[in-house]
Structure formats: C-alpha cells, structure tokens
A and B are shown apart, each in its own frame.
Chain A
C-alpha cells in the first residue's frame, strides 16, 4: 500500500484497523541469487538497490535479531559530507544527495532534517585546518561555510561563545545541507520498500557458517537451515570480523564500543548539529526535544553493547563546556553500539579474495550518514562483480597496496579514527 494523505484518510475512517504489515515475513526459500547478511540500514539499502537499480529481485536479507535493533537504531543520527579527501568526499556527497530525496524515493518519512552541521574551532591551527577542509569541500562541489564567533553566537544562542569559556571558540565550519534523520525510520523505510520489490527479509536468522566449493561460497548455514546463494554480501557492522572469520578471512577491522545518550525532553534550544573541537562531543536536539549526545569510543575492543562511566563523564564535561545551560538536565537513556573500526578510518566496500563474497564494513562510527550510498554502491559491486566509481578506492586490498584513505591522518590505530 502506498502511503499518502488518501490512504491515511481511508484508514482513519476504518479506525486504523486495516493497515497492512510494512513488510512481508516470509519463510526462507532454498536458493537466492544474492544473500545479504545483516538487516541494518546498509544491508536493507543494498537489497533495495539490487532490486530497484539492477533488477535482481531474488534476494534475501538475513538478520540475526530484528529490523532496527542494531546500530541503525543506536546512533546519533547525524548526516553530513564534510570530508577532506576526494574519495570519501565524493562517496559521502552522493549519500547526502540521496538523503535529500530519500523520503520520496521510499514513500516513507525518514524525517531528514537538513538543519546544518557546525564543527567548532578553538585554536588558530584548527581554524587553518578547517579553512583547508572547507576549501577542499568547495572544490569538490560540496557546500561549506566558515562562521565567525559572532555568527555562531547568533546562530546558537545558548552556546558559550564568551572569552570565559574553558576553550574559547574561534569560529566553525558549517555545512548547511547536513543534518539529522529519524534513524529507525531509515531501516523500516528500506525494509518496506525492498520487501515490496520482492526481497525476502528474514529476521531471527543467524548465520553460523558457509559451505565452500573451491573459491566460491555455495551455501549459507543459518539457524533456519541451509540457504543456497549465488552471491553473498555481508553488512554486519561490529560483527564484520566474526562473519568474515566464518569464511576464513581476517580483516583490517577492530570492534569497539561507542556510547551515546539522550536527555529528558526540553523545549527547543538547539536547532542545528554542533560538534566540539577542544574535545570530542557532538549534540543535536531530537524532534521529541531530547538532547542527543555522543563522544569518544571506550578505546578498547569490545562486543559488549555497554560502556564505562569515565567516557560518559568526559563527554558530559565537554558538553557542559559548550552548553552550561545543560548542567542540571537529567539523562533519560544511555546505550552502547559496536563499531567496526577500520585501520585507516574509512569504510571497506569491496570484493574479497573469495570469488562470490563481498564485504561492506569498517564504518568507524560514521555509518549512518552513509546508508543510502553504501547500499547503492554495494548493490552495484555485487551486481557487476566490480566496484562502482564511488567505491573503487574503498577496496579491501588497499591495506596491502598502501593506498590508505586516512582522512584524519591518525595512522594504523583503529581507536584513534
């Protein structure tokens, strides 16, 4: 059923008792042309674009838990494309372009809100670095704008822009086309749209192993039995190492826990996304009024979806240096998600040494904003058995050839990216 004002009115007259399920709940078939492992935003987007862009509709998405239960529903929902290096800039800019039309494309309101993303600078060095990044963005056709301290003070009135701030603000780099989206609506929207095109979404189905013949995978062993597959793609975020390990691959990825938290709902006080430059902290306000906040990783490998308090304390201290007004706000929820931290800080969307096995991972706590383009190029990579122009550089073998995409220049230490 197409969602529209007419279907809403029709259902309202019937007491809202007649809405169909948003996506089908099928029994797995014996064989699929493509099996996508991981029913998060990236896996579902991949299945959707396989069906829509490439006409491959005999596709299954296998999800260990339930749709929207993983990192797609565990992030701070920030969408931006303010990258320095060309390979990342072009990829994330394509993603941002897809975000701007995503609700129409999926016929599902993902509540994309281009409210702007500001990165604050607190030193002259940081300012110069932002000039450089902003200029590189402009050269790549991406919007970027330097804002002075007084402009930022007008734009974000509750931000401490005074000389008394712990680290006084110099200014900031603004990307106005960036913003936020409703995270689980993205998963639900892609699931519904993919299911309508014939994709089977199979929840509560964990992958236990692969059956190989020569250098090909012929079958995926799951808790719901064996499923034969023509091609297999994995988009399993923090569990990339585990699932790739089942196929005998070792990846340049470490799994780390990242915490995020939301406050009780407040009246509207911040209408943009703003990130701290003197520490690591990012904040926006949800449509419900909650302050949505995040900070650093816990800096050690973890598969536990929970973190430690010192990181939380550090993040909140950063937040209060920016917004003293929040000092007595109570926290509502706090959670951890498992991040697939690649060794150069950029994603891997690539073929692998196994002929019909493809990987999409290494998102380094920046995966949410990439969801549409990630699915777009991963579907292309699987359908053509060759990367799209936008992900040619994001190959798995770049760690052998030395063509790293290290946007931050942090070197081969996963937790620093």
Chain B
C-alpha cells in the first residue's frame, strides 16, 4: 500500500485520500464559456509527472496538491493546495 505524506498529518495510507482532479487554474467569475469548457472538460492527462488535487478525507480533510508520476505512481511532490496560514 502506498503512503502519501500529508503536510498536516504525516505519512498516511493512500486509501485515506480521494483523488479530486487534475490541478488547473480555476477561471474567474468573469470568465467566458470557452475558459470554463477548458477547465471542466479538457485534461493534460500526461504519461509522466502529473499535478493533481487530492483530499485527505479520512484525515485533516485538507486539499493537497500532489505531483505524481502516472507511469510508476511515485509521489514527486506533495504540498497544501492553498498556501498555509490563509483563511478560507
């Protein structure tokens, strides 16, 4: 079983986390349909390093940004999706 090293909780079993989606800039409220179509439907889907958002559902419930190699599942980088210390 693979361990993901949560920024807040430390190394935890992958089954505690839920994959959300590919990381991408969220369009602003003023953005048009083309921007939203790209954000909602288009994917980089690389064979290699992939930047993605996961939620630590069964832990701190924070959303983490993970860079993972899709060929080997190796975690290359893991950090909070939002800079820490900011309020929601």
Q: Is the pair B47, A299 in contact by a Cβ cutoff of 8 Å?
A: no
Number of A-B contacts (CB under 8 A): 69
Tell me if A1 counts as interface (CB < 8 A to partner B): no
Tell me if B29 counts as interface (CB < 8 A to partner A): no
Closest to B15 in A: A310
Main secondary structure, interface of A, reads: mixed
Q: Is the pair A308, B14 in contact by a Cβ cutoff of 8 Å?
A: yes
Q: Is the pair B41, A412 in contact by a Cβ cutoff of 8 Å?
A: yes
B 26-45 binary contact with A (CB < 8 Å = 1; else 0): 00000000100110111111
Q: Is the pair A251, B45 in contact by a Cβ cutoff of 8 Å?
A: yes
Q: Is the pair B70, A304 in contact by a Cβ cutoff of 8 Å?
A: yes
Docked CA distance A136–B32 (Å): 37
Q: Is the pair A250, B47 in contact by a Cβ cutoff of 8 Å?
A: no
Count the B residues whose beta carbon is within 8 Å of the partner chain — how many? 27
Docked CA distance A241–B47 (Å): 9
Q: Is the pair B37, A400 in contact by a Cβ cutoff of 8 Å?
A: yes
Complex contacts, A400 vs chain B, CB 8 Å: 34, 37
Complex contacts, B43 vs chain A, CB 8 Å: 241, 250-254, 343, 414
Q: Is the pair B42, A242 in contact by a Cβ cutoff of 8 Å?
A: no
Complex contacts, B54 vs chain A, CB 8 Å: 300
Docked CA distance A239–B15 (Å): 26
A 288-311 binary contact with B (CB < 8 Å = 1; else 0): 000000000001111110001110
Tell me if A415 counts as interface (CB < 8 A to partner B): yes
Q: Is the pair A304, B14 in contact by a Cβ cutoff of 8 Å?
A: no
Complex contacts, A254 vs chain B, CB 8 Å: 22, 43, 45
B2 to chain A, nearest CB (A): 7
Q: Is the pair A239, B47 in contact by a Cβ cutoff of 8 Å?
A: yes
Docked CA distance A415–B73 (Å): 17
Complex contacts, B42 vs chain A, CB 8 Å: 250-252, 399
Q: Is the pair B21, A399 in contact by a Cβ cutoff of 8 Å?
A: no
Complex contacts, B1 vs chain A, CB 8 Å: 308-310
Closest to A414 in B: B43
Tell me if B8 counts as interface (CB < 8 A to partner A): no
- Which chain A residues have a beta carbon within 8 Å of chain B's beta carbons? 239, 241-242, 245, 250-255, 299-304, 308-310, 343, 399-400, 412-415
What would be 6 A-B contacts, judged by CB atoms less than 8 Å apart? A239-B47, A304-B71, A304-B72, A309-B1, A343-B41, A414-B43
